[in-house]
Amino acid sequence: MTFNPTLQSRLPQVGTTIFTVMSALAQRHDAVNLGQGFPDFGCDPRLIDAVDEAMRAGLNQYPPMTGVPQLREAIASKLQALYGRDYDAGSEITITAGATQAIFTTLLAIVHPGDEVIVLEPCYDSYAPNIEMAGGVVVRVPLTPGTFKPDFERLAAALTPRTRALIINSPHNPSGTVWSAEDMQRLADLLRPTEVMLISDEVYEHMVFDGARHLSAAQWPDLAERAFIVSSFGKTYHVTGWKVGFVAAPAALSLEFRKQHQYNVFTVNTPVQHGLAAFMADPEPYLALSDFYQQKRDLFRAGLARTPFKLLPCEGSYFQCVDYSGLSDLDDQAYCEWLTAELKVAAIPLSAFYAQGTAQRVIRFCFAKKDETLNLALERLGRL
C-alpha cells in the first residue's frame, strides 16, 4: 500500500520564483546575470579575518537568543549616530537570520487571522506570502506608475478598522526610488490616529545617491513608536549568503517579536555575529557605501544611455529599471527571456513584483557587479 497524502497548500499560488527561473535561464545561455540582487565581488578581507578570529577563539556555541551583546550594542550606536534614535541594545534590538526572516517573524508576532496588512506594489516577493502564512489578508496599494512614489490618497483609502500593519521599503526594490522627508511626514500624519503597526524595510539604507541621505522611520517619533526597523548586513557588507540582519523596535514590540523568534529561528550564527561586531567598530565601510555604488550606477547608466532603453530614475539601492516599450511589444517576462537568449544579458521583469502583473514594459537590472561584468553586459546591450 502506497502512502499518498493529500496536502492542502498554505501557498497554493506560489511556484518557482522568477529569480530562480531567470538565473537558470542565464546559466543555460551563458548570459551575464543582472537579474538576482547579489554582488559578484567579495567582501572586505578584514571582515573574513574577524569571523575567522572569532571561530578560532572558540566562539562557536549558541549565542544569546536575542543576539551577541557586542553586535546589538554596535547597532544601537549606529542607529543613534545616523538617525538620532536611542534604542536599548538589551531590550530593543534583535539579531535575525536575514531581513526576510525578520519581516516574517514580525508578521507572526503582530498579525492574527483576518488582520489586513498593506503592501505597496511593486514590492519584494516575500511580503505577501509572509502575510498569508501569518493568517493575514494582503491589501495591495499601487505606487504611482513611472515614479513609484507613495500615493497617500490611495493609502488612506485602504486603511480600515481591520488594518493591522503597513510594510514600506526605502530605498525601494525594485524601482530604486527613495522616500523623501515629506513622504515620511505624511506617513506619520496618516498613521498617528490609528493603531496600525509599521514594518520599515531599510535593507538598502546605505545606498542613497546624489548627496541625499537615507531617512529612517526611526527619525520620526510617531513612526518609531510603532515601527519594526529591518536591515541587513548582507546588503551592506556584500555577504548576502551569510543571512544576518536585525530588527530594532520599542521594547514592548520587541518582546512579542522575540517570542516568535525564539521558536522560529532561536538564534543566529555565533562567530559571524562576533565578526560583524568587531568590523562595525570602523563605520567607514558603510558610510562609504553610497559613493561606491553611485560609481557603479553612473557607469551603468552612462552605458545604458547609449542604448534605446528609457532609463527610469535610480535614487538608491543597487537596481536600475528601464522602459523597453519603444523596442518591443513583448510582455516583460517574454522580453527578459528574449534578452537572455539573444543578447545574453539576464534581467527581471517588473511584473514579478505585482500580484496581477503590469503592462508597464519595465525590467530591472542589478548593478551590484564588478565593473568588467557591467561593461560586458553593456557591450551586449549595445547591440539593441
Q: Output the CATH code of domain 45-282.
A: 3.40.640.10
Helix (H) or strand (E) holding 27: helix 18-28
Q: Diameter of the chain by CA atoms?
A: 68
Grid coordinates given for 111? 498579525
* Separation of alpha carbons 244 and 267, rounded Å: 10
* Separation of alpha carbons 89 and 95, rounded Å: 11
- For strands 116-121 and 137-142, give the pairing: parallel
pTM of the shown model: 0.96
Question: 247: helix, coil or strand?
Answer: strand
Is residue 257 within 8 A of residue 51, CB to CB? The reply is no
Q: Show me where the domains of the chain are located.
A: 18-43+287-381, 45-282
CATH 3.90.1150.10 fits 18-43+287-381, yes or no: yes
Is residue 223 within 8 A of residue 208, CB to CB? The reply is no
Give the chain's mean pLDDT: 96
What is the percent of the chain where pLDDT is above 90? Answer: 91
State the burial class of residue 59 (Cβ atoms within 10 Å of its Cβ: 0-12, 13-18, 19+).
middle
Least confidently predicted of 103-112, 119-128, 351-360: 351-360
pLDDT at 357 over 80: no
Q: Is the dihedral of CA 70, 75, 232, 284 positive or negative?
A: negative
175-211 per-position pLDDT tens digit: 999 999 999 999 999 999 999 999 999 999 999 999 9
Question: Nearest CA to 194 among 225, 169, 218?
Answer: 225
57-102 per-position pLDDT tens digit: 999 999 999 999 999 999 999 999 999 999 999 999 999 999 999 9
Q: For residue 19, give Cα distances in angstroms to 36, 58, 90, 353, 365.
A: 6, 38, 37, 11, 12
Helix (H) or strand (E) holding 56: helix 45-56
In this prediction, residue 260 carries a pLDDT of 97
Packing angle of the helix pair 289-304, 371-381 (nearest 10 deg): 20
In this prediction, residue 1 carries a pLDDT of 67
In this prediction, residue 31 carries a pLDDT of 96
